[in-house]
Amino acid sequence: MKLFFTLLTLFSPHFLIAQTSSFFISFTPTYNGVPMELEKAYGSDSLKIETLKFYISDISFFNQEQQWFKFQDGYQLLDFSNELKTGKSYGAPSYFSYSHIEFDLGVDSLTNVSGAMEGPLDPMNGMYWTWQSGYINFKLEGTAANCPTRKNEFTFHLGGYQAPYAGKQRISLPIENLPSTRDIEIEIPIDELFQKINLNDNNEIMSPCATSVEMAKILASVLKIKNN
């Protein structure tokens, strides 16, 4: 009888819930590895970021090469307007571990042609072009002393869902040192991004184009796991 109750407890929903714990996946813009504050000047070019917003979705976790788990929780719009880092908590069984993570940066083509949507995809979030259809996958606005524009402003609205200017990127990041909390902090090294673009030639992207796709690829290439 004792064994029966023990087994009953083990397989009860309460027990299973107790075995589930949450972990946090966050994104942090950094300059030389230090978390950036919005509107604070960095480096010799006094680089300031005023807006940083982007969509992620379809987060998948892999252990070695095998997909462990996929969160199909739709799109998240990460908006750094009030905080240094932003992200989301995920709940998964405690034994759940992973060695690399994949996610989409941007909005897929089907969603782009499916009409008005609520929540993160509502056009009132300022991430939808108005003069033509399509979501802005990644929005980065700010100033830099070496930017040869009015008020030294740069504006990068990266989007596009149709070939040849489809801008969504699949990001794949290996995780070598998964902490016991299983939390993952993904760095957006803004200094490295700006080392790879020339603000003299490229300081304003506001529609899908070849430069937009090129910059989306550069962005994808600099993302990394912090303290990996």
Partner 1 sequence: MKLKLICIIVLTGFISSFVVDEMVELVYPSYFPSPAYNFSNNQLTKSKIELGRALFYDPILSKDNSISCASCHSPFNAFAHTDHDLSHGIDDQKGTRNAPALFNLAWQSSFMWDGAINHLDMQALAPIAHPKEMNETIENVVKKLQTTSLYPDLFKDACGDSKITGSKILKALSQFQLTLVSANSKYDQMKMGEIEFSEQEKNGYQLFQKNCNSCHTEPLFSSFEFANNGLSVDTTLNDFGKFTITKIVSDSLLFKIPSLRNLSFSYPYMHDGRFKKLNDVLKHYTQLDHKNKLLTKPLQNPIELTSNEKTDLIAFLLTLDDQSFVFDKKHRFPRNILLQNTNKN
Report in angstroms how near the CB of residue 134 gets to partner 1 at its nearest: 8
CA–CA distance, 93 with 227 (Å, rounded to integer): 24
Q: Residue 46 phi/psi, 5° resolution?
A: 50, 50
Ranges of beta strands (E only) in 133-199 are: 136-143, 153-159, 169-174, 184-189
**d(Cα 67, Cα 44) in Å, to the nearest integer?**
43
Nearer to partner 1, 74 or 123 (CB): 123
Complete DSSP assignment for 7-48: HHHHTSHHHHHHTEEEEEEEEEEEETTEEPPTT--BTTTTBE
- Report the interface residues with partner 1, using CB under 8 A: 112-118, 121-126, 128, 130-134, 162, 209
CB of 107 to partner 1, least distance (A): 13
Nearer to partner 1, 33 or 123 (CB): 123
Give the Cα separation of 120 and 125 in Å (integer): 7
Residue 74 or 148: which CB sits closer to partner 1? 74
Which C-beta is closer to partner 1: that of 99 or that of 155? 155
Least Å from the CB of residue 50 to partner 1: 17
Q: Least CB distance from residue 168 to partner 1, whole Å?
A: 16
